[in-house]
Every structure is written in C-alpha cells, then in structure tokens.
Amino acid sequence: MKTKIQKLACLCCLSAGISVLPVCAQDNAQEIQFDIQAKQSLFPVQSTMYGVFFEDINFGADGGIYAELVKNRSFEFQDALMGWIPFGTVKIEEKDPCFERNPHYVRLSFGQEITQTGLENEGFKGMGIKAGESYFLSTYARVQSKRPVRIRIELISESNHIFETKELTVSGNDWKKYQVTLTPQQTEKRAHLRLTLIDPGTIDMDHISLFPENTYKKRPNGLRADLVEALKDLHPGIFRFPGGCIVEGTTRATRYQWKNTIGPVENRPTNINRWFYTFSYRKFPDYYQSLGLGFYEYFLLSEDIGAEPLPVLNCGLSCQYENDDMDEHARLDELQPYIQDALDLIEFANGSASSKWGKIRAEMGHPAPFNLKFIAIGNEQWGSIYVERLKPFVEAIRAKYPDIKIVGGSGPQASGEEFDYLWSEMKNLQVDLVDEHYYRHPEWFLSNAKRYDSYDRNAPKVFAGEYACHTDTQANSFLAALCEAAFMTGLERNADVVQLCTYAPLFAHVDAWQWRPDLIWFDNLSVFKTPNYYVQQMYSRNKGTDVVKLTRNNQPVAGENDLYASAALDKQTNELIIKVVNTGMYRRSITWNLEGFADGKRTAKVQSLQSLDLGNTQLVPTESSIELDVPKAKLTIKPFSFSVYRIPL
Ligand code: AHR
C-alpha cells in the first residue's frame, strides 16, 4: 500500500509539473542492499563520454558566446538596416564595396542641416558593458570628399545617458580599417552604440564592430570568457557543432556551409538563422548568423575546453519538416560538392600546413592539426532519401580517411518504425555511431533508464546527441534534472554501447530564446547555471575510467523503489565512484556491499543535488565527506536527490 501511495504521488507530481511537494520526506523502513563488484572493470568509459552540443539557437552564438556586440555589423540582413536606427541622411549602397561577399555598406551624408546624421545600433537586446574594461570599436570606412570627416562614437545607457564618448577621423577615398578604444566607467546590461557625423561630408562605413578586449584569452574576434569558462567547467569530452537544425537550413540555400565560415570574418557571408522563428509566439526576424564564430573558431573552442571536436555536416537535405518535396534537397547527382565539403573539412582540420585546406587553417593561426577523429553527416534526417545520400559520404570518407569515425542519424524520434528502419540501415552502412535524439517527458526518462541494457553489443555505438527532459512547462527545473540524472545511470551502465552523450540545447539568452529547457542561461553580463547543468557536470567530472557492476538481486538498479544507480572505477585516482538517484519522496537506507574491499573504514567525498522543491532552478550541488564502514557501507539516500560518492579503494 505504501509503495502504491508513493508511486501515485510521484507520478502525479511528475506529470503535472508540481513544484513544491505536498508531503514531507519520510523514512521507509525497507532494507535495501546493492552489490558492487568494486574492483572488476566491465569495460572502459570513453574519455568522450560526456560532452556538449553547441547550436546557434536562443542567440547562443551571435548575441551569446561570440563576443561581438554589434548586430548586423555588415548591413547584410535582408532588411539591411535591421538592428540599426538611422537618423539624418543614411543610405545603403553596394557599389564598389569593401567586401565582395558582404557587399552592402552604409553611406552617411551631412551638410549644414539642423538634424544630425548617424546611426544607432541596438546590439543583441542591448550591449553588455563593464566599467573599467576596454572595448574596441572598429570599422572599414572611406570619405567621398577630399576633407577628412570626424565621427563621434558614444555608448548610451538604457536610460539614455551617454557614458562614453570618443572620436574617430576618417580620411581618404579608399577603404581602410579604423579602430578606437573605448574605456567606459559604467556597467550597463543594455547599452547601445551611437555614431554621429561631426563634420560636413559623406562617409561610407562597413563592418562596424564592437568587441570587448577581455574575450576568452583576449583573442581578437573572440568569445565571451564567462561562457567559455562555463563550458570548460563541464569538463566535456566531446564538442558537437554547429547544430542541429541550422546545419540543415530552412531551405537548401540557407543550410550551414562551413567553407563560408572560415577566412577573414569581414568576408564571411551572413546567413539567416533557421531559428528566426519557431513557435508562433516567438518570432525573431532579426536572427542571422554573422559566422564570425565559424569552423576555425569551433575547432579552437574544442581545444580550449579540452573536448574532441565533432562537426556535423549537411548531407544534401534541408530541414525535412520544412520541405516535404524534393525541390529544396540536393539530388543524388548533385551530391558530389557536399561530399567534397566533408573531405575538405577533414583536410582543413587534420591536413598538413602545405595541403590546400590545411594551409588556410595554418594561415588563420593554427599550423598544428586539430586532430579531428569524428564527423557526423546529417542531423535529424529520415527516410530512404537520407540513407541514399549518406551511403556515398560513407564510401568516400572511408576510402580517403579510414580512421575517421562516422556518425549517422536515427531521425528525430527515439523509437518507432522510422527509427528502427534507420537503425537497420545504419548497421548496413556500418557507421561507427548512431545519433539518437530525445526531448521527452519525465516518465519517459525514468522508464528509459534501462533503454540501452538490451542494445546490440555488436552494432554501431550510440551517440545520445540531443536530449533533455521536458516537463509540461518546458522550463528548467530540478525535476527535469533529477530525471536526467536517473536516466544517465543507464548511459553509464551501458558505456560500452553509449560512447558519447550531449544535452541540448546548450545556451539561451534570457531575453531572446526560442527553445527551452536549456543547459546554460545568460544575459548580456552574467551566466546562470541550471540544475541540469550540474547533473551533467557531476557525471562528467566523475566519469571514472571503467564501469563496474552494480546490482540489486542481480538486476540493474533502474527504478525499483524510485532508485537508480551506477558505479565506475577511477583507476587514475584509485577510487570507486557511485552515482545514486532517488526520484521518490522517501529517504532510503541502503547497504552497499562493496565486493573486493577489505574490512575497514573509508572517508568518502560526497557531492549532492537535493531539494523537495522540484521546480527549483537555483539549486547547486553541496559537497561533504562521510565516514563509511566497508565492505558493507550503510548510506541514507535523501528523497529527491542525486548524489555522487567517491570512495578510496
Ligand atoms: O536542440 C534544438 C533542436 O532540436 C535541434 O536543432 C534539432 O536537431 C532538434 O530538433
């Protein structure tokens, strides 16, 4: 009876998204024993096991990790002045441009009028400015007259107060780059930029850019240091990029093309973002990709955060949800350039500095190869049209680069006829890994903790490439995080099959998101880590080196009494790592039978996420230590908790 009440209460809460539980945690007297073969490795955990998946969604790139503060710096959005508020005489021109692939520029003219001429840029929901830090305003400009023209540069607060002013003088009729350093003494979350002509004359400007000096590692064209640090703190083993749906594109023309994302940033052609709309109530017609964060920068970021790069390339199909006829897809006889893009990408990443594409990488600043080991072809594609296209990619990559691991897809569903069809085709094609995606409700996550126990051990491995627990509200919550933690015990227990996994999406701007939940939220100045983030971090920082057997009555611990558990050995630190999740409202007393431990005492380190408020979004893990008698260690597992124990062997 007790169990039944408990189950009802839990499932009610889970499906209705109830936040604070109506009951108090209580003890459940039942004695439970878990057996752990603490010193017998079953199989290794791949160093790539837990990673991150980056997509330019929710303003994750432009307006997010890419530190550029100016929106539409190249005047290439469909409405060329989108993001800008012109005043006075302002025109868009394209004759005799500065950048061939971004030909539009702005012409500002000023005579003796009373009204001034200039432009304001709104940034990405404003510009985050920090007092005492330096910002580089740069532009390419020329004058149409003989005399130089001065421009006033101002930073303006949300309350319309000018808090930094500098001047720039432009001279000569040829395009030249200019740079001015701003050193504001005021912090603003939603500042904007104003440029005003001071002298009479006509001036052309393009690629108007504002970057903080303090990007990650102070790199020019760099990334927001706080967001990179948040990724590093996850200790990711794999870094999947650049999407997601943006790889496919809303149309064939707007698919992601990596070759457009390398070389000088000024000449990378702007592309509309697939996420300019999602749900009817959230439209972002101003969502474009400057591609300033391109494939070179993605590879560099992988290196910075210590993860193996995993680029995803378009397979010749655009988004199948958007395009159900063949007009927007490449025919089979048109596929060769797409395949060549994949081969060239491998050369760009791994080729010598004297190879055609390796040379470009070297010229961009990275003579050493990036040591690419994985490539994914296609995102959420389905049907025979995907399989037919993937096949020639696999053949070409295998022939030229037999060591590269190829990731194929299983479509947007996590089960069903289409999923089964794709899996059988992936086996036929002998891809190395199959990418599975699941954005599912809490019950699904809990019941799928056993998902991989029965997977074919001789088939391609699994890449859980996009997953997140979605409650009814689709908000981040401790509830979702807890269900993810429970599910992930099943990933760890099956680390011989599941070799990579990445939560999705990764980033979201609090004022400009299209999709939730997300792992990391940010505004223009700050970062907010979710309980879901900490679950990922607790797994990745405690992945250990080898999985060991953890059972109750010789069965995996995957839901009985609301408990989920897995264990790993860390051969480097000589510790046993136990992860245990209690998704129920009862405290549980567990005897851990640590086979292989001699009689004695151990001090274990404990990290725990626990709350009775399942809607909690502020939760952070606590750290403590505990004395244990081994080999039969007794532990009390709190209700609604995820804990990691590190026990010295
Ligand atoms: O992560 C958000 C989107 O979900 C991805 O772009 C796509 O692959 C999936 O449908």
Q: What HEC string does 90-143 produce?
A: EEEECCCCCCCCCCCEEEEEECCCCCCCEEEECECCEEEECCCCCEEEEEEEEE
30 has a pLDDT exceeding 80: no
Residue nearest to ligand 1 atom 3, measured at CA: 244
Q: Where are the alpha helices (DSSP H) in 505-564?
A: 531-540
Which ligand 1 atom minimizes the distance to the CA of 505? 1
Could you tell me which of 17, 10, 7, 53 has the C-alpha nearest to residue 470? Answer: 17
Which ligand 1 atom minimizes the distance to the CA of 246? 6
Residue 281's pLDDT is 56
pLDDT tens figures, 115-124: 899 999 999 9
624 has a pLDDT exceeding 60: yes
Residue 282's pLDDT is 66
The dihedrals phi and psi of 82, each to the nearest 5 degrees, come to: -60, 135
Q: Which helix or strand (DSSP H or E) is residue 564 part of? A: strand 563-570
Residue 111's pLDDT is 86
Q: Specify the residue for token string 């998204």.
A: 17
Residue 278's pLDDT is 62
- Assess whether the C-beta atom of 412 lies below 6 angstroms from ligand 1: yes
Residue 279's pLDDT is 57
Task: Give the pairing of strands 507-509 and 520-522.
Answer: parallel
Å from CA of 245 to ligand 1 middle: 6
The model's confidence at residue 114, banded by pLDDT at 50, 70 and 90, is confident
d(CA 398, CA 401): 5
pTM of the model: 0.95
Query: Quick one: DSSP state of residue 270?
Result: P
Q: Specify the residue for token string 């160093």.
A: 47
Please provide the DSSP assignment of 577-631 as one string: EEEEEE-SSEEEEEEEEEETPPSEEEEEEEEEEE-SBTT-SS---EEEEEEEEES
- Assess whether the C-beta atom of 55 lies below 6 angstroms from ligand 1: yes
pLDDT tens figures, 213-253: 999 999 999 999 999 999 999 999 999 999 999 999 999 99
Q: Average of pLDDT values for 464-492?
A: 97
- Assess whether the C-beta atom of 256 lies below 6 angstroms from ligand 1: no
The chain-wide mean pLDDT, for the chain, equals: 94
d(CA 200, CA 317): 52
Residue nearest to ligand 1 atom 4, measured at CA: 244
Q: Which of 76, 347, 380, 466 is catalytic?
A: 380
pLDDT tens figures, 297-349: 999 999 999 999 999 999 999 999 989 888 999 999 999 999 999 999 999 99
pLDDT tens figures, 375-428: 999 999 999 999 999 999 999 999 999 999 999 999 999 999 999 999 999 999
Which ligand 1 atom minimizes the distance to the CA of 439? 4
273 has a pLDDT exceeding 90: yes
Q: Which of 240, 377, 380, 518 to mutate to test the pocket of ligand 1 (most atoms within 8 A of CB)?
A: 380
Question: What are residue 169's DSSP bridge partners?
Answer: 150
The model's confidence at residue 496, banded by pLDDT at 50, 70 and 90, is very high
Catalytic residue check, 380? yes
Residue 284's pLDDT is 86
Å from CA of 438 to ligand 1 middle: 10
The model's confidence at residue 6, banded by pLDDT at 50, 70 and 90, is very low
Å from CA of 184 to ligand 1 middle: 39
pLDDT tens figures, 62-108: 999 999 999 999 999 999 999 999 999 999 999 999 999 999 999 99
Residue 4's pLDDT is 33
Which ligand 1 atom minimizes the distance to the CA of 275? 6
Å from CA of 590 to ligand 1 middle: 39
Residue 285's pLDDT is 86
Residue nearest to ligand 1 atom 7, measured at CA: 244
Residue 53's pLDDT is 98
- Burial class (CB within 10 angstroms; exposed 0-12, middle 13-18, buried 19+) of 534: buried
- Assess whether the C-beta atom of 379 lies below 6 angstroms from ligand 1: yes
Could you tell me which of 294, 440, 460 has the C-alpha nearest to residue 364? Answer: 294
Q: Which of 439, 463, 474 to mutate to test the pocket of ligand 1 (most atoms within 8 A of CB)?
A: 439
Query: Quick one: DSSP state of residue 23?
Result: S
Residue 324's pLDDT is 85
The dihedrals phi and psi of 268, each to the nearest 5 degrees, come to: -85, 120
pLDDT tens figures, 436-466: 999 999 999 999 999 999 999 999 999 999 9
Could you tell me which of 583, 552, 407 has the C-alpha nearest to residue 9? Answer: 583
